[in-house]
Amino acid sequence: MTGAEVVLDGVTRHYGETAVVRDVSLTVRAGEFLTLLGPSGSGKTTTLMIVAGFVEPSAGDVRIGGRSVAGLPPHRRNLGVVFQSYALFPHMSVSDNVAFPLRMRRVGGAEARRRVQAALEMVQLGELGARRIQQLSGGQQQRVALARALVFEPPVLLMDEPLGALDRKLREQMQLEIKRLQQLLGLTAIYVTHDQEEALILSDRIAIMHDGLIHQVGAPAEVYERPATAFVADFVGESNVLRGVVETASPEGVTVCLTPAGPRVHGPAGPVAPGQPVRLMIRPEALTLRDGAGEAASNALPGVVEEALYLGQAIRYTVRAGDLVLTVREPHRTADPTFAPQARVTVSWPRHATILVTP
């Protein structure tokens, strides 16, 4: 079984006056794991349901494996779908649930039994075929839903927040499992979540959605390190967002005068011109704290520690530097010295850690 390419071409969906999905164009490559990431109401689930065939697009086209699926009802699309609530059939046993798609495809007898058993073993439930659904834990139900969506070897697997109902430990375990199965089977996977950490762990590429629009599509490192919009910067990971006006711009880099504080900040070259207002984003872990005033690095601001939160492997500081409030995340080992509130420090970061984002 190999994956099929999924193409969304200018897909739009209106409900009355409101556009829930706006002109979404996206190519999910065969065998790729793509995550639609966004807050609730961003249109990510509607986009997934359009691919599954449960929602008709108001405009645009969806192509799976090169063929348009416009007007094709869900049961003829041959896609595996895993729902947030698992949507198992409570009146059937585990095996009957998994056998259901085979039954719909007129696969029966020994062949069906063999494939159901193989699918259950794939999700490590080989022993539980005879159980009733109510006798399973949440994690086991999730595995049954996965086995049921995979047993008929669909080329594409769609998942709508499948781990939303599980606790943290189980969720992390299932993330690895899903990733392993997807790679093992070479499936194309489209995964919907609002959990950015989950998206970063699972995905080959992430499409970040907000208000029905795709803001950025890229590999996890790309969207994290080079967010295209202020929304992406803010939604994926923590960030410090500063406003300023470009003072100089050259191929070596830019200098931005922060408003309203006035200090100058240096960043890598970007498509900006002097006099242009911009936003800068700096990740909390890119900032470092030094004792006292120190000598000027490429970017250095004097400040005072306002708050220090112990997070185990790191310490999260809130530092006031003039009118700016910055979040700093410093890795922490047991013997490291820490800064107490009221300590005078210098916040510094390398030039390349400054990221220009469009508002």
Partner 1 sequence: MGVDSMSGRRVGRLALSAFTGLVCVFLVAPSLVVIPMSFSSAELLAFPPPGYSLRWYANFFERAEWMLAGRNSFVIAGLTTVLATGLGTMTALGLVRGRVPFRNLVTALFLTPMIVPAIVTAVAVYGLYATLRLTGTIPGMVLAHTVLAFPFVVVNASAVLQGMDWRVEQAARSLGASPLRAFWLVTLPLIRPGIAAGAVFAFITSFDELVVALFISGIEAVTLPVQMWSGIRFEINPTVAAVSTMLIVMSGLVFAVVGVLRGRAGARPVR
Is position 75 an interface residue for partner 1 (rule: CB under 8 A)? yes
Minimum gap (Å) between residue 158 Cβ and partner 1: 8
CA atoms of 188 and 300, how far apart (whole Å): 46
Distances (CA, A) of 11 to 28, 271, 356: 14, 30, 29
Question: Residue type for 136, please?
Answer: L
CA atoms of 111 and 109, how far apart (whole Å): 6
Residues sharing a CB contact under 8 Å with residue 65, sequence separation 6 or more, in sequence order: 4, 5, 155
Pick between residue 134 and residue 250 the one whose CB is nearest to partner 1: 134
CA atoms of 250 and 272, how far apart (whole Å): 9
Q: Residue length, the chain?
A: 359
Pick between residue 188 and residue 327 the one whose CB is nearest to partner 1: 188
- 109-122 vs 94-104: helix axis angle to the nearest 10? 120
The two three-digit tokens of residue 50, written as one number: 């359009």
Is position 132 an interface residue for partner 1 (rule: CB under 8 A)? yes
Pick the stretch among 18-26, 46-54, 197-205, 331-339 that binds partner 1 (CB under 8 A). Answer: 46-54
Helix (H) or strand (E) holding 175: helix 168-185
Is position 85 an interface residue for partner 1 (rule: CB under 8 A)? yes
Pick between residue 89 and residue 310 the one whose CB is nearest to partner 1: 89
CA atoms of 45 and 159, how far apart (whole Å): 9
Pick between residue 28 and residue 98 the one whose CB is nearest to partner 1: 98
Whose CA is closest to 241, among 200, 285, 282? 282
Minimum gap (Å) between residue 155 Cβ and partner 1: 14
Is position 123 an interface residue for partner 1 (rule: CB under 8 A)? no
Minimum gap (Å) between residue 120 Cβ and partner 1: 16
Is position 15 an interface residue for partner 1 (rule: CB under 8 A)? no
Secondary structure class of 33 (helix, strand, coil) = strand
- For residue 220, whether the previous peptide bond is cis, meaning omega lies within 30 degrees of 0, is no
Pick between residue 148 and residue 205 the one whose CB is nearest to partner 1: 148
Pick the stretch among 97-105, 120-128, 232-240, 340-348 that binds partner 1 (CB under 8 A). Answer: 97-105
Is position 52 an interface residue for partner 1 (rule: CB under 8 A)? yes
> Binding partner 1 by CB under 8 A: which of 88, 136, 178, 282?
88
Secondary structure class of 190 (helix, strand, coil) = strand
151-190 footprint of partner 1 as x/- string (CB under 8 A): -x--------------------------------------
100-119 footprint of partner 1 as x/- string (CB under 8 A): xx--xx--------------
Is position 54 an interface residue for partner 1 (rule: CB under 8 A)? yes
CA atoms of 313 and 310, how far apart (whole Å): 8
CA atoms of 346 and 305, how far apart (whole Å): 10
Pick the stretch among 19-27, 47-55, 217-225, 338-346 that binds partner 1 (CB under 8 A). Answer: 47-55
Pick between residue 72 and residue 181 the one whose CB is nearest to partner 1: 72
CA atoms of 227 and 230, how far apart (whole Å): 7
Pick between residue 87 and residue 170 the one whose CB is nearest to partner 1: 87
Q: Which residues bind partner 1 (CB under 8 A)?
A: 52-54, 73-75, 77-81, 83-85, 87-91, 100-101, 104-105, 132-134, 145, 148-149, 152
